[in-house]
Amino acid sequence: MLGDLYESTIIGIFLILLFKVLFDSSKKFIFREWALLLYAINYLVAPLITYRIQEEQINNIMKIPFDEYFGLALPGFVIFWIGMYAIPTNIFGFDFKSVKKASIVNQSFLTKVTIIGILLRITTSYVPGELAFFVYLFALLRFVGAFALLSVNRKLWYWTAVSLLIEFYIAFLDGMYHDAIMWLIFFTLYWVYTFKPSLQIKLVGLAAFITFILFIQTMKYEYREQVWYGQKSASLETITDLGLQKANKDELLGEENLLKTLNRGNQAWIFASTVDNMNQQKNFQGLNNVNKYIEAALLPRFLAPDKIKAGNQEIFNEFSGHTVNEVTAMGLGIFADGYIAYGAWGVYIFAFALGLIFSLTFKLVERWSKISTFYVLLLLPLLNYAVRPDCELQTSINHLFKGILLYGFLVYLTRKRFTLDSQENQRKLLHLNLTTSKK
Q: What is the pLDDT of residue 310?
A: 64
Q: Report the C-alpha gap between 331 and 311 in whole angstroms.
A: 7
Q: Report the C-alpha gap between 322 and 69 in whole angstroms.
A: 18
Could you give the residue ranges of the DSSP H alpha helices within 233-319?
A: 236-246, 249-252, 255-264, 268-281, 288-298, 313-319
- The CA–CA distances, whole Å, from 67 to 3, 5, 33 equal 6, 10, 26
Q: How confident is the model at residue 256 (pLDDT cuts 50, 70, 90)?
A: low
Share of the chain above pLDDT 70, in %: 82
Q: How confident is the model at residue 439 (pLDDT cuts 50, 70, 90)?
A: very low
Q: Which residue has the higher pLDDT, 94 or 76?
A: 76
Q: How confident is the model at residue 240 (pLDDT cuts 50, 70, 90)?
A: confident
The residue type of 92 is F
- Which contacts of 237-245 are long-range, i.e. CB under 8 A and separated by 24 or more positions? 239/172, 239/173, 243/215, 243/219, 245/219
Q: What is the pLDDT of residue 119?
A: 92
**pLDDT tops 80 at residue 282:** yes
**pLDDT tops 90 at residue 142:** yes
Q: What Rg, from alpha-carbon coordinates, does the chain have?
A: 23
Mean pLDDT along residues 64-88: 93
Q: What is the pLDDT of residue 239?
A: 75
Does residue 321 sit in helix, strand or coil? coil
**pLDDT tops 70 at residue 16:** yes
Q: Mind listing the pLDDT tens digit for each residue in 181-198?
A: 999 999 999 899 888 899
Q: Which residue has the higher pLDDT, 416 or 65?
A: 65
Contact 137, 381 (CB under 8 A): yes
Mean pLDDT along residues 31-40: 92
Q: CB neighbours of 155 closer than 8 A, spacing ≥ 6?
A: none
Q: Report the C-alpha gap between 212 and 206 in whole angstroms.
A: 10
**pLDDT tops 70 at residue 97:** no
**pLDDT tops 90 at residue 381:** yes
Does residue 236 sit in helix, strand or coil? helix
Q: Quote the mean pLDDT of the chain.
A: 82
Number of residues that make up the chain: 439
> In the chain, helix, strand, coil percent, each to 5?
75, 0, 25
Q: What is the pLDDT of residue 437?
A: 45
**pLDDT tops 60 at residue 109:** yes
Share of the chain above pLDDT 90, in %: 28
Contact 76, 399 (CB under 8 A): no
Domain residue limits, the chain:
2-196+267-438
Q: Report the C-alpha gap between 41 and 38 in whole angstroms.
A: 5
Q: How confident is the model at residue 434 (pLDDT cuts 50, 70, 90)?
A: very low
Q: What is the pLDDT of residue 99?
A: 62
Q: What is the pLDDT of residue 438?
A: 47
Q: What is the pLDDT of residue 225?
A: 75
**pLDDT tops 90 at residue 81:** yes
Q: How confident is the model at residue 382 (pLDDT cuts 50, 70, 90)?
A: very high
Backbone angles phi, psi at 332, to 5 degrees: -70, -40
Does residue 50 sit in helix, strand or coil? helix
Q: Report the C-alpha gap between 2 and 7 in whole angstroms.
A: 9
Phi-psi label, residue 192: left if phi above 0, alpha if psi -120 to 50, beta otherwise: alpha
Contact 271, 343 (CB under 8 A): no
Q: HSE-up of 121 (CA within 13 Å, CB side)?
A: 23
**pLDDT tops 60 at residue 354:** yes
Mean pLDDT along residues 321-350: 81
Contact 323, 329 (CB under 8 A): no
Q: Report the C-alpha gap between 95 and 74 in whole angstroms.
A: 35
Three-class DSSP labels, 82-101 = HHHCCCCCCHHHCCHHHHHH
Cβ neighbours of 358 (radius 10 Å): 24
Q: CB neighbours of 42 closer than 8 A, spacing ≥ 6?
A: 265, 266, 267, 268, 389, 390
Mean pLDDT along residues 185-214: 89
Nearest to 41 by CA among 206, 361, 261, 272: 261
